[in-house]
């Protein structure tokens, strides 16, 4: 993957909340992710709340991945095992590269916080059209864990020994 540099790169990003029940008023996970991106000096260019519906999720993600200004997409929700949890199905076939280490590491870290219940998460990530997409559980705590322990450093060009920035920006 990309190598670290000495200069920070502010990346365009988008946040999608997948939920049948969340609204702008009660979407604490989406709000947290938008604030975390902003606090890390990245630019939140778009956000949405979409019901658990494969075509609607896929359309939103495809539009963001096609936008050359968006390099990071954070998706919260729809990664469990209830019948309406369809985020993984919506992403099926989208990625040029899977990032299996993300889900593995997330569940490993999460095990320290919630024990064996971490197997209930289908958190995953991949790269599509030079955009990295992280799909997280819907809980704000899980989003915080993923951001603070994994994602923040991996979308930071100054993180050593490596990060995803060069892989998604195409910079050599």
> What is the torsional sign of CA 95, 53, 56, 154?
negative
Q: What single string gives the DSSP state of each residue in 119-156?
A: GG---EEEEETTEEEEEE-SSHHHHHHHIIIIIHHHT-
In a domain, 5, yes or no: no
In a domain, 7, yes or no: no
Q: Is the CB of residue 133 less than 8 Å from the CB of residue 61?
A: yes
Torsion of CA 135, 138, 140, 143, to 10 degrees: -10
Count of domains for the chain: 1
In a domain, 102, yes or no: yes
Q: Is the CB of residue 76 less than 8 Å from the CB of residue 34?
A: no
Q: Is the CB of residue 86 less than 8 Å from the CB of residue 133?
A: no
Residue 52: the pLDDT is 95
In a domain, 53, yes or no: yes
In a domain, 56, yes or no: yes
In a domain, 4, yes or no: no
In a domain, 73, yes or no: yes
Residue 6: the pLDDT is 77
Query: pTM score, two decimals?
Result: 0.95
In a domain, 3, yes or no: no
DSSP H/E element including 93: none
Residue 107 structural domain: 12-169
Q: Is the CB of residue 20 less than 8 Å from the CB of residue 86?
A: no
Mean pLDDT split into 10-residue runs, the chain, 172 residues? 80 97 95 98 98 97 98 96 94 96 97 94 97 97 98 97 94 53
CATH number of the domain where residue 146 is located: 3.40.980.10
């Amino acid at each position: 993957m990309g190598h670290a540099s000495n200069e920070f790169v502010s990346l365009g990003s988008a946040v999608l909340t997948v939920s049948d029940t969340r609204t702008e008023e009660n979407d604490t996970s989406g709000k947290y992710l938008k604030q975390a991106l902003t606090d890390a000096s990245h630019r939140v260019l778009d956000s949405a709340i979409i019901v658990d519906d494969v075509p609607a999720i896929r359309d939103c993600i495809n539009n963001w991945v096609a936008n050359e200004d968006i390099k990071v997409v954070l998706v919260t929700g729809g990664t469990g095992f209830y019948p309406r949890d369809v985020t993984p199905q919506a992403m099926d076939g989208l990625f040029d590269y899977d990032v299996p280490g993300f889900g593995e590491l997330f569940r490993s870290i999460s095990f320290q916080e919630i024990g064996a219940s971490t197997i209930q998460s289908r958190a995953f990530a991949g790269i599509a059209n030079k955009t990295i997409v992280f799909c997280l559980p819907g809980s704000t705590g899980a989003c915080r864990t993923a951001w603070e322990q994994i994602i923040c450093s991996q979308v930071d060009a100054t993180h050593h020994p490596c990060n995803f920035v060069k892989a998604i920006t195409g910079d050599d």
